[in-house]
């Protein structure tokens, strides 16, 4: 199959290279010339484990190319994926579909022969209808089908997720036999590997993506509220999570209490689902509450740090370890660290941050703080050390070294990666989330 991927970001680049690795002939296209120039030189514009090697391998095999030129790429394609961003629209929280619609217009003018146009971006219910309308209006002669195929990969484990998905959801409308056959061919290697291919209507497929993300966000938020309750009643949230997670109906994943969900998907997708539901006069109150509880939580974690220092951080140094929204990515979008650092700064703290891969992106989003080259430089003269993201390199900190450099030995572990006794025996005070002091 000849495939064009419009948008070479976290999803487009990973999907494109994995399709190439399946044996398809793939062109990844982006409007961002610097991104394409870097890719052509063999440089990977994002941090994603295993991606550089897989790109190099498929480029060398001649199956993967990069371009900014849409015309030839689309004209020669059997399938065109739209994998552009759908951020929250400024002002009202709806998904901003301007990039998707712009891509649809550009594709429309260049279609040649039967082509399946696939929205891989996360898009609200009904977006496929509008993409179809735009293409038909722009190019009435075009022979095409618009399909929804939401992506479920997780940053940090993106290649593994793409190659071994729990399911592949494909939404096809009308007489979609030709589109269905093409999509089955695109995913044949996974299908042969027993990944279930779930065909639904286009609107259903679009909603599945939001329902999935909202459910996971709710699960995280639920355990976070349980953690707060645990702190009040003297219970241990990790044991509560294990105790409920072993129930097969609940499942143990996404039950880790922490500083609240962030990232490029859950915050914007929960909000967009709330807006879609309100527009259809069918409000999703559980999701509305999840959004509100999670928003509050991020600053509350900043206040938790302040409380752990004794209540006043003015003029005192606080070191923050981990700035990305989760480990193994350089993605800073909506990271809880942003609100936590802001809360500390608002209270007068001098903040130093360190992240293994996210520093370049962090600098664009968080200013007025110092950036350190490692955890120990960050901790120098600090009166609190805060773990916000559970990178592996923070799991075995040298406490003697930290204690020697910090002004006050206090660890606030917002990811519960240590046990209290492991930390206090080095002379540290310790605070964590939802566990008895």
Whole-number Å distance between alpha carbons of 216 and 213: 5
Closer CB to ligand NAD, residue 7 or residue 258?
A: 7
Query: Residue 84, interface with ligand NAD (CB under 6 A)?
Result: yes
Residues 336-355 that bind ligand NAD (CB under 6 A): none
Query: Residue 8, interface with ligand NAD (CB under 6 A)?
Result: yes
Q: Taking contact as CB under 6 A, which single stretch among the options 36-44, 80-88, 341-349, 393-401 is the one that binds ligand NAD? A: 80-88
Closer CB to ligand NAD, residue 202 or residue 304?
A: 202
Query: What is the side-by-side order of every strand in the sheet holding 370-371?
Result: 370-371, 350-354, 317-321, 384-387, 410-413, 429-431
Query: Residue 99, interface with ligand NAD (CB under 6 A)?
Result: yes
Print the binding letters for residues 260-279 with ligand NAD: x by CB under 6 A, - otherwise: ----xx--------------
Whole-number Å distance between alpha carbons of 102 and 367: 33
Q: Site for ligand NAD (CB under 6 A): which residue of 48, 155, 330, 355?
A: 155
Q: Taking contact as CB under 6 A, which single stretch among the options 2-10, 71-79, 173-181, 276-284 is the one that binds ligand NAD? A: 2-10
Q: Based on the number of CB atoms within 10 Å of its own CB, is 196 exposed (0-12), middle (13-18) or buried (19 or more)?
A: exposed
Is 28 tagged catalytic? no
CB of 194 to ligand NAD, least distance (A): 22
Residues 114-143 that bind ligand NAD (CB under 6 A): 121-122
- 249 Cβ partners below 8 Å, 6+ apart? none
Inter-CA distances, 26 with 8, 35, 55, 79, Å: 12, 17, 11, 10
How are beta strands 25-29 and 2-6 bridged, if at all?
A: parallel
Number of H helices, E strands in the chain: 18, 14
Query: Residue 29, interface with ligand NAD (CB under 6 A)?
Result: yes
Query: Residue 32, interface with ligand NAD (CB under 6 A)?
Result: yes
- 131 Cβ partners below 8 Å, 6+ apart? 82, 100, 101, 104, 117, 119, 146
Number of residues that bind ligand NAD (CB under 6 A): 27
Residue 391 phi/psi, 5° resolution? -60, 145
User: Which position among 18, 28, 230, 265 bears the catalytic label?
Assistant: 265
In sign, the C-alpha dihedral spanning 154, 260, 233, 399 is positive
Query: Residue 85, interface with ligand NAD (CB under 6 A)?
Result: yes
> Which residue number has the CB closest to ligand NAD?
9
Whole-number Å distance between alpha carbons of 340 and 362: 13
CB of 10 to ligand NAD, least distance (A): 4
Binding site for ligand NAD (CB under 6 A): 6-12, 29-32, 35, 83-86, 99, 102-103, 106, 121-122, 151, 153, 155, 264-265
Which residues are known catalytic residues?
265
């Amino acid at each position: 199959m000849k495939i064009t991927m419009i948008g070479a970001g976290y999803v487009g680049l990973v999907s494109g290279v994995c399709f190439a690795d399946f044996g398809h002939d793939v062109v990844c296209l982006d409007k961002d010339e610097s991104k394409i120039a870097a890719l052509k030189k063999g440089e990977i514009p994002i941090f994603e484990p295993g991606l550089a090697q897989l790109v190099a391998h498929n480029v060398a095999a001649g199956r993967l190319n990069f371009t900014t030129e849409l015309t030839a790429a689309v004209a020669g394609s059997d399938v065109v994926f739209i994998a552009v961003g759908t951020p929250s629209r400024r002002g009202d929280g709806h998904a901003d579909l301007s990039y998707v619609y712009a891509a649809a217009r550009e594709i429309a003018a260049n279609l040649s022969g039967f082509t399946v146009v696939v929205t891989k971006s996360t898009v609200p219910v009904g977006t496929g209808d509008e993409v179809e309308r735009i293409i038909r209006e722009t190019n009435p002669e075009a022979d095409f089908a618009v399909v929804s195929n939401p992506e479920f990969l997780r940053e940090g484990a993106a290649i593994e997720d793409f190659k071994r998905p729990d399911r592949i959801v494909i939404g096809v409308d009308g007489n979609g036999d030709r589109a269905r056959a093409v999509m089955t061919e695109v995913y044949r290697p996974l299908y042969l590997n027993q990944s279930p291919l779930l065909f639904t209507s286009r609107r259903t497929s679009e909603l599945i993506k939001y329902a999935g993300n909202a459910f996971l966000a709710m699960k995280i938020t639920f355990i976070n509220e349980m953690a707060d309750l645990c702190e009040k009643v003297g219970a241990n949230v990790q044991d509560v999570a294990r105790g409920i997670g072993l129930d097969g109906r609940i499942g143990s994943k996404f039950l880790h209490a922490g500083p609240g969900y962030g990232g490029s998907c859950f915050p914007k997708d929960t909000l967009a689902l709330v807006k879609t539901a309100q527009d259809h006069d069918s409000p999703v109150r559980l999701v509305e509450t999840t959004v509100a509880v999670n928003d509050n939580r991020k600053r509350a974690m900043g206040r938790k740090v302040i409380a752990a220092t004794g209540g006043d951080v003015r003029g005192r140094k606080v070191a923050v370890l981990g700035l990305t929204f989760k480990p193994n990515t350089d993605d800073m979008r909506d990271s809880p660290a942003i609100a936590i650092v802001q809360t500390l700064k608002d209270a007068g703290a001098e903040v130093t941050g360190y992240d293994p891969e996210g520093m370049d992106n962090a600098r664009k989003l968080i200013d007025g703080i110092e950036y350190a080259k490692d955890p120990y430089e960050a901790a120098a003269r600090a009166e609190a050390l805060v773990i916000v993201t559970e990178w592996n390199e923070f799991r075995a900190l040298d406490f003697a070294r930290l204690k020697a450099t910090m002004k006050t030995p206090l660890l606030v572990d917002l990811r519960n990666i240590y046990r209290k006794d492991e930390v206090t025996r080095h002379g540290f005070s310790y605070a964590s989330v939802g566990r008895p002091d």
